[in-house]
Amino acid sequence: MKNLYVLVLVLFLFISGNTIGQNCTHNFSGIVSDIHNAAPISAIEIYIKELNKKVETDSLGRFQFSSLCPGKYTIVCSNRDGYKPIVKLFDVQENIVYNFKIEVHLKELAEVKITTLIKPKDKLSTLNATSLFGDELEKNRATNLGDIVKSIPGVNSLNTGNSVSKPVIHGMHSNRVLILNNGIRQEGQQWGSEHAPEIDPFIADKISVVKGANSIMYGSDAIAGVILVDTKPLPDSASLGGEINMVGNSNGRGGTIASFLEGKFKRLPAFSWRIQGTLKQNGTIAAPDYLLINTGLKEYNFSYELGWKKKNYGAEIFYSQFNTTLGIFGASHIGNLTDLQHAFESKVPLESTSFTYAINRPYQHVEHELFKAKFYINTGKVGKLNLVYARQYNWRYEYDKHGPLNNLLASKNNPDLEFHLTTHTLDLNWSHARRNGFKGTVGLQGMQQANTYRGRKLVPSFENGSIGVFVVENWQYKRWELEAGLRYDVKQLSVYQSEKIVSNQSVLVKTSHPFEQATASLGANYTIDTTWKCMLNLGTAWRAPSVNELYSDGLHHGAAAVEYGNSALKVEQAYVATFTGLYTPNEDLHIEVSPYYNFIQGFIYRQPTPTPVLTIRGAFPGFNYAQTDAILRGIDLYTSYHFTHWMEWKVKGSLLRAWNQAANNWLIQMPADRIETEFGFHLDHNQRLKHIYIGPSIQYVAKQHRVPEGSDFVDPPSAYWLTNLNIATHFRMGKNHAEIGMHITNLGNTRYRDYMDRFRYFTDAMGRNISFRLKYRF
Amino acid sequence: MKKKMFKPFMLALGAFSLVVVSCKKDDLKPTDDHVHNDSELITTLELKFSGKGVLRNDTTFVITFNDPDGDGGNIPTQFDTIHLLKNSTYNVELTLLDKSKTPTDTISNEVLEEANDHLFFYSSNPIGLVNVSITDKDGNGKNLGLKSTWETSNSGFGKVKVKLMHQPGVKDGTSATGDTDVEVDFQVNVK
């Protein structure tokens, strides 16, 4: 027994001696710089695979690992712009200095994948975040935000034709999805299903979607997720540069020009700037058999960004304007039930047209202005304090099919519906860097908005204010990462309505709706090397009923339905569980499976009235806003596999089951199951043309048969197949970089209708569209 | 650029950003109680019948459909039933009003002005209960429908649908094209 004890002791000493006795004081350090102009690059992650340790380069491009034991290590230097990371093996027997030189201008084809490109402070680490950048963003960038984010599994869009597209995450949209325009909550009339987000995708070089209840950091109402539209960081090296994009598309015979200019003066290194602008125009859209009358679009946007960056503090100003005029398909602005029936029975739209760029009634004109001012300061070495103020103006004008008959009124050409929404937000937050395994953020957020209207009354004037306070802590230890967050919000909606007391006198009555509630989140990540990663998040979220759900009273022309609000509606309370399993044994294989479960108490939806509503224009379908308990669960899938270095195969899929407990039936207006597969061919051989990518893809969308019987005017449309083709080449032109691409959607010119497109009652969806794009970056 | 030129440049840029910033402003507040309704509504449809009425040998009577919020969510406040005698002929004049305005706006006058773009349809259900013929024409010699004759034969009951269609440039005598501005289904009793 004694001998055994001695043996164990000796063994223990030997083992520990091997580690303690060793000289674990080696450094591995260096600088990461641009391969072309030797400028240092900050915020690049350097990772030691064997130790699961990572650091980021500082503003001078420097990184350092200290206290390393002698041994062989695999060092991974990550990269930006979707370029492959640099992986090198080092035998550390003494201090090593190694400088990485990386390409920051040339982009390789970017995949849709889980990425650390989003700054950790911008999202809960235990939620699935996916970014679109590089080619995956470029191929659709000239369309609109709703159509761009559809590339991510689990994300769809709710369309009103081609030009109005709203992102849908896990079946939820509008007020349940938060969109952040350069870090600021986008506030427009987002309650409307035909009100598209007023954001120009060309201000961003990266669009990310965080799926799940990200309700701690941005607002308690991000039940389904958050979409982050992030501008490119301002240049950090003295330069003058920019980009010109030109896109032309065959369907609509239109195009977009978007460009920006950015710079930093050598003599004033703290200051950097960027100015940006976009012009877009499209004419009549074509379905395979006919043209869609009045589907033109005109848009002009511009923005500027100024930055002042010192070692320990800085400031940023961002200003953007978005202006769009979009024609609403004439044969969809249908009247009463008789007319609707007539339209449904017709094989082709009831109105025909020839091609034109003109935009006539009915149309929407929307202007959105954002002004953002940010100030930040490092609080010693411990943390960083941010203060952000933003002001948004959202002007929405809607013009009906025909103006008033009265000549005097008609000559004024007033919009039939007009909203002016002014929103002020103020955010103060403090994040502390990781210490003893802990890092976190505490914040205070306030918002105040006022809405007025002119013309027809659909929703009343209102004031809306909210204050929220939150704290998030994240603890990392070896393979585990645990996260907890808590938030408390106090909100108040005040509605102003005129009430008649006698025949020609009315008084303004104010009705207030206060809401307050807490939100919580708990999550865990478990990582094994770069092979396995599991992410689990359990969170709550709550959403106050919006003004249209409380106070709608009248014909909603865009929906051709009479809607009745319910001012007694309570808040929606959501309990969300999201899980992601990620398997990446090597650089060639990526398998990502994400099941999710939402239980939403008090889910607000539209319930059809038992009989149609009678008005002077005939009978219209009526809807009451009601509440139910809903369960939305599903699974998203993404896999990619590189067979060889020049060929890869990707599969994306999503399933959703949405159940209405009170009605004991399916919830309407939920996306059908779908799957998409793409083959990618990479050709690098040609010397001048650095990289060519050819990617044909096929998508299958099932018929949405999970709808209650008789709940809709017509049966949901049949399942359909779509084929697409994406070709892109990147090459250098002197010191600069250029890209040419072609993206063909609906290659087969298939006749199809999608259940999530409100125009499916009246017309087939858009036919083949060939889009050419050119990008020159200097 | 020399360093001392930067200060004025920065100030100019800062001032510029403030100028572009104050582009939009809402001149209205939610607490302003202003008249919102510039928009036109059709609130009332009146049919003036001349001929033998049902009661006391009336020579004219008016049938009214009144919906004060036009195409809004509230139900109509008045929806008369048409009582006619069998084997009779009536001359009917149609009037559209916007009673939400002071003074009341007569919309049918504007329809008359834009007669070339409008057409009234009258359909009887069951067919033959009432035979409606349009007697007035627009500038192009096509039917308009503000004036019509209603002929009854046997007694019975049913509905007559009165529909105004806006058909700019596409008036072909049918209700296949254009948009419906008014559609009211009147109950009809022929005794």
- Write the CATH number for A96: 2.60.40.10
Q: Is the pLDDT of residue A19 over 70?
A: no
Written as one letter, the residue type at B118 is H
Domain-embedded: residue A18: no
Q: Using CA atoms, how far apart are residues A560 and A624, in angstroms rounded to an integer? A: 14
A74, HSE (Cβ side, Cα atoms, 13 Å) = 9
* Residue A621 domain flag: yes
Name which of A306, A393, A617 is nearest B182 (Cβ-Cβ): A617
Q: Where a domain ends, among A102, A136, A169?
A: A102
- DSSP annotation of A191 reads T
Contact present, A273 and A306 (Cβ < 8 Å): yes
Least confident segment among A58-72, A77-91, A440-454, B172-186 = A77-91
Please give the tally of structural domains in chain A: 2
Question: In terms of domains, do A129 and A98 share one?
Answer: no
Q: Chain B: residue nearest A275 by CA?
A: B17
Q: Hey, which residues 275-314 in chain A have their CB within 8 Å of chain B? A: 304, 306
Q: How far is CA A354 from CA A163, A283, A293, A328, A357, in A?
A: 19, 10, 8, 16, 10
pLDDT, position A104: 59
| Residue-range definition of the domain harbouring residue B110 | 44-190
Domain CATH number, residue B161: 2.60.40
Nearest by CB to B17, from A317, A451, A616: name it.
A317
Domain of residue A504, CATH code: 2.40.170.20
Q: Do A457 and B37 touch (CB under 8 A)?
A: yes
B36/A321 touch (CB, cutoff 8 Å), yes or no? no
Average pLDDT over residues A238-264: 92
User: So what's the pLDDT on residue A395?
Assistant: 95
pLDDT of res. A392? 96
CA A431 to chain centre: 24
Instruction: Write the pLDDT tens digit of every residue in A199-232.
Output: 999 998 889 899 999 889 988 889 999 999 988 8
A722 touches chain B (CB under 8 A): no
Q: How confident is the model at residue A22 (pLDDT cuts 50, 70, 90)?
A: low
- pLDDT for the residue numbered A12: 47
Touching check for A106 and chain B: CB below 8 Å?
no
Residue A476 inside a domain? The answer is yes
Closest CA to A425 of A405, A396, A446, A411: A446
Q: Using the 8-state DSSP alphabet, how is residue B58 labeled?
A: -
CB count within 10 Å of CB A685 equals: 9
Is B9 inside any structural domain? no
Our CA-based measurement puts residue A193 at a distance from the nearest CA of chain B, in whole angstroms, of 19
Rounded to two decimals, the pTM is 0.84
Do A256 and A308 lie in one domain? The reply is: yes
Do A356 and A493 lie in one domain? The reply is yes
pLDDT tens-digit readout, A603-634: 999 888 888 888 888 888 888 999 999 999 99
> Residue A54: is it exposed, middle or buried by C-beta count within 10 angstroms (0-12/13-18/19+)?
middle
Q: What is chain A's mean pLDDT, rounded?
A: 87
> In the structure, what pLDDT confidence band is assigned to residue A444 with cuts at 50, 70 and 90?
very high
Does A6 fall in a domain? no
Nearest to B117 by CA among A414, A412, A618, A403: A403
**Whether residue A160 sits in one domain with residue A72:** no
Tell me, yes or no, whether A671 and A752 share the same domain.
yes
Q: Which residues of A651-664 are buried (b: 16+ CB within 10 A; e: fewer)?
A: ebbbbbebbbeebe
The answer to whether residues A76 and A225 belong to one domain is no
Q: Which residue has the higher pLDDT, A519 or A435?
A: A519
Q: In Å, how far are A288, A557, A582, B24, B157 from A480, measured between CA atoms?
A: 53, 53, 15, 50, 79
Boundaries of domain holding A83: 24-102
Contact between residue A305 and residue A234 where contact means Cβ atoms under 8 Å apart: yes
Specify the pLDDT at position A673: 97
- Least-confidence region, from A59-73, A423-437, A657-671, B120-134: A59-73
* Of A20 and A541, the one with more pLDDT: A541
Residue A329 class from Cβ within 10 Å (0-12 exposed, 13-18 middle, 19+ buried)? buried
- Give the E-state strand segments of A218-265 in sequence order: 225-230, 239-249, 254-264
Is A76 in the same domain as A118? no
Average pLDDT over chain B, rounded to an integer? 81
Does A734 have pLDDT greater than 90? no
pLDDT score of A686: 53
Token pair in block for residue A376: 């930040």
Let me know whether A30 and A171 are in one domain. no
Say what the pLDDT of residue A148 is. Answer: 94
Residue B19 forms part of a structural domain: no
What Rg value do the Cα atoms of chain A yield, rounded? 28
Pairing of strands B78-79, B60-66: antiparallel
Q: Predicted ipTM?
A: 0.80
Mean pLDDT of B41-59: 75
Indicate if the pLDDT at residue B95 is higher than 60: yes
Q: Which distant-in-sequence residues (6+ apart) come within 8 Å of A419 by Cβ?
A: A189, A394, A395, A396, A451, A452, A453
Exposure of A314 in the CB half-sphere (CA atoms within 13 A) = 16
Give the C-alpha separation, A110 to A206, whole Å: 11
- Taking contacts as CB-CB distances below 8 angstroms, the residues of chain A near B163 are 618
Asked whether A599 and A578 are in contact (CB, 8 A), the reply is no
Q: Give the best-scoring range by mean pLDDT among A233-242, A268-277, A601-610, A694-703.
A: A694-703
Same domain, A46 and A170: no
Cβ separation A613–B73 shorter than 8 A: yes
Weakest-pLDDT range from A6-15, A40-49, A57-66: A6-15
pLDDT (0 to 100) of residue A719: 97
Last residue of a domain, one of A68, A102, A136: A102
Interface test with A, best of B179, B184, B185, B186 (most A CBs within 10 A): B179
Domain boundary residue, one of A102, A132, A155 = A102
The verdict on A351 touching B (C-beta cutoff 8 Å) is yes
| Residue B7 covered by a domain | no
pLDDT of A111 higher than 50: no
Same domain, A584 and A707: yes
Judged against a pLDDT cut of 80, whether residue A7 lies above it is answered with: no
Q: Give the residue from A609, A610, A335 showing the smallest Cα distance to B71.
A: A335
Q: Is residue A333 scored above 70 in pLDDT?
A: no
Domain membership flag for residue A93:
yes
Same domain, A152 and A295: yes
B68: pLDDT strictly greater than 80 = yes
Q: Report chain B residues whose CB lies below 8 A from the CB of A319.
A: 17, 20-21
DSSP reduced 3-state for A758: helix
| B38 located within any domain | no
Diameter of chain B measured on Cα atoms: 101
Each as own residue / partner, the long-range contacts of residues B177-180 (CB below 8 Å, 24 or more positions apart, any chain) are B177/A350, B177/A351, B178/B119, B179/A333, B179/A334, B179/A335, B179/A339, B179/A401, B179/A402, B180/A335, B180/A336, B180/A338, B180/A339, B180/A617, B180/A618
pLDDT of residue A317: 95
Minimum distance, in Å, between the CA of residue A301 and any CA atom of chain B? 14
User: What integer pLDDT is reported at residue A16 of this predicted model?
Assistant: 41
Whether the per-residue pLDDT at B134 is higher than 70: the answer is yes
Kindly tell me if the per-residue pLDDT of A15 is higher than 50: no
Q: Are residues A54 and A191 in the same domain?
A: no
DSSP code at position A559? G
Residue B2 lies in a domain: no
Tens-place pLDDT, residues A467-491: 999 999 999 888 899 999 999 999 9
